[in-house]
Amino acid sequence: MHWPDNVAGIQDQIRSLEFLAEKGYTRYIGVSNFEASDLEEAISSTKKHEIVVDQIHYSVLYRHPEKTLLPLAIEKGITVQAYTPIERGRVNTIDLLKEIGEKYGKTPVQVALNYLISRPRVVAIPKSERVERIREFIGAMGWRLSSSDIELIEKSLI
């Protein structure tokens, strides 16, 4: 489900997705753009299958999901798939991310992505069609920001 549908109702939509899974048309149930309350309703509507992912807007510049959705997803074992994680390149303009990146030999994009994937159950899905950008994205993996740098981002980028 790409968006919660208030007309059809989340419960009916989840039952339809479970029907598709029962028939073998899909292996998993995923949702997109569900806030914590929507996700709780979807979880309580399942009977046989689990919701495995919620794809949401999440970045160092849009951290609203950290308040209620991310803790719920972690508790329930649901993966959060962060779309628009580099805010169409806007993270490159953030001085703090530049400064932190210099400490690690990383770009602001790599710092922004690493911030997200350092969270439990979070994966980021940046978009690019250019090979050099995809290589840059790969450089966000295989290392971790220090807890003090994560805290600095949390306190500074509100």
- The pLDDT tens digits for 111-135 are 999 999 999 999 999 999 999 999 9
- The answer to whether residue 90 is domain-embedded is yes
**Closest to 82 in 3D by CA, of 50, 121, 43:** 121
- The answer to whether residue 16 is domain-embedded is no
| Burial label, 151 (beta-carbon count in 10 A; 0-12, 13-18, 19+) | exposed
- The answer to whether residue 22 is domain-embedded is no
Stretch 137-155: mean pLDDT: 97
**Closest to 109 in 3D by CA, of 128, 85, 127:** 85
Contact, 44 vs 10, CB < 8 A?
no
Instruction: Show the domain range for 91.
Output: 86-158
pLDDT of residue 81: 98
Residue 5 has pLDDT above 90, yes or no: no
Number of domains in the chain: 1
∠51-44-80 over CA atoms, to 5°?
Answer: 35
- The answer to whether residue 14 is domain-embedded is no
pLDDT of residue 3: 82
* 14 pLDDT tier (thresholds 50, 70, 90): very high
Residue 65 has pLDDT above 80, yes or no: yes
Residue 99 has pLDDT above 80, yes or no: yes
- The answer to whether residue 11 is domain-embedded is no
Chain-centre distance for alpha carbon 146: 20
Residue 38 has pLDDT above 90, yes or no: yes
For residues 158 and 125, the model is more confident at 125
**Closest to 31 in 3D by CA, of 63, 158, 49, 22:** 49
pLDDT of residue 127: 93
- The answer to whether residue 74 is domain-embedded is no
- The answer to whether residue 103 is domain-embedded is yes
Residue 54 has pLDDT above 80, yes or no: yes
d(CA 156, CA 69): 21
What's the whole-number average pLDDT of the chain? Answer: 95
Chain-centre distance for alpha carbon 144: 17
pLDDT of residue 7: 79
- The answer to whether residue 149 is domain-embedded is yes
pLDDT of residue 121: 97
Residue 74 has pLDDT above 90, yes or no: yes
